[in-house]
Structure 1
Amino acid sequence: MAVILALASAMTYGVSDFLGGVFSRGQRVSAWQIAVAGQCSSAAVTWLAVLAVTGEATREHVLLSALAGLGSGFGTGFLYRGFARGRMGVVAPVSAVGSALVPLAVGLGQGDRPSALAVIGVACAFPAIWLVARPDPQAHGPLLDAEPGAPSGFVDAVLAGLGFGVLFAVLGQIPDDAGFVPLAICQTVSIAAIVVTAMLLREAWVPRSGPAALGLLLGPLGFTATAAFMLATHHGLLSVVSVIAALYPASTVLLARLVLHERIGRGQAAGLAAAAVSVSLVALG
């Protein structure tokens, strides 16, 4: 069950990132406007889910949720900014590896002891993440091309990876009896985190235009991905679940191929194969 939920999280995050990357490429909208619209929508969906999934959230759970929200907002904003002005081939793999390393270290530090097969699977996941998100150097497309003279997006990717790493590591500390209230708090705080960061960077963040409103479509995806990850940690080890969830660039790349007709290079194909091996080993373990 943990592997299935982690895969569902990865796939949904990948779809969300694909759409966020496409939306953030618009000339009349900033990445921060897309991020704010998406997180507002996600928070609204999550609070509705609270009505269906009851639980008892303690003060500790609330504080953990707020910390997770800071990581989520920070990570989302810098990920979209990296996609908007950098290169997906840098932003996607660096952010994904970073998002896996933080919870992996936390899980192992708390005593996670995966089986031998799971350890091999986790080891295979890191080169898989890197390869699958590194496009063919000759390929071009809306998600691959950077603006002329734009930075590679490496710094944005590192910051996004740290933010998502904090999100994953902290969500893994919330027990299943807390219900969805902590998740709703997390999504709500993430909005404030995005707004404050955008203001400090003097970036436009109010989603005034029609293109910015497209970010509202990301809300249900964000809720599904985060909820699936949190539920996965209730059934499996944080150190393993977080690495599987970090395979999200695979679905982003596949969507870019199917929808935008972007080419899949040999390295990406090898990465997809390694991802399949990684998931299989973790499942068997």
Structure 2
Amino acid sequence: MSHPPRDRTTLDASLVDLASPTEERNPASTELDALDARGMVDVILGEDATVAGAVQARAGEIAALVEVCVQAISAGGTVHYLGAGTSGRLAVLDAVELAPTFDADASMVTAHLAGGHGAFLTAVEGAEDSTAAGAELVREQCRPGDVVIGLAASGRTPFVGGALEAARAAGMPTALISANPQAELAPLADHPILLAVGPEVVTGSTRMKAGTAQKLTLNALSTAMMVRLGTTFGNLMIDVRPTNAKLVARTVRMLVQASGQSPQRAAAVLEAAGGEVRVALVALLAGAEVEAAAAVLEQFPRDARRVGDPAGIRSAVAALDARS
């Protein structure tokens, strides 16, 4: 079995010779500084345009990981993202945005950044080089039934390697999202998602194409995961938290889009339902009273095993229709 790199506090000469697409020079941008602003932007965006295809090529692997994560969350487990630098910050961004969008919380998906929360705004020197820190984090914060997903653009970050090795030793499913098709840490992942995005426009600047590829991967992974868990009706966010005026208006608009009812009718039913979007939606779709909608929804809670209707909305409406 391949093992993650040891902690490094001094230059390791092997790193200089270690091949990685993220460290290679991009022939499309070798004269980048000689271009005018428009030329620079054209080169940057031209390279960015290739990223989506690289992620699409790994759709099967992403989908397989979705199912693993859905199974874990449904059983009470947690999906843990771990990363350093840009990769870790993207992990944090994805995890925290699931709360307002899908009413998810840290018991479902959470993120850990090498160096702690303070490293989100200020780089913590050497944090990514500690294999022991990654392993310790997993031993302290993860438990059987959880899923551990490491993000490492280079595919060799020691912090991520330590975490994956500790997770695998504890029997947890593991995954790696990397921009290196030959990622050193891939053998530690049950689900390696290796994105062939090629060299960066600015050599080694993995906040660019590698970062974009990781963000696209996380977008697909977490969104599909949440939809499979029953947090949407079609493509509508029925579990969105209406915490401000914009989201309240979006909630009413969503009910209108789903039911074809007027905004006034949708707003009135939502108010009668005490702001419970699911109840209001079933009442509008079935033409039923709020009380009846609430009662029948208790029979059809969110369930990822209910193929075609994980949210339970269609089943609840059908049950009410059958009674009328």
TM-score (norm 2): 0.29
Higher strand share: 2
Higher helix share: 1
Choose 1 or 2 for highest CA Rg.
2
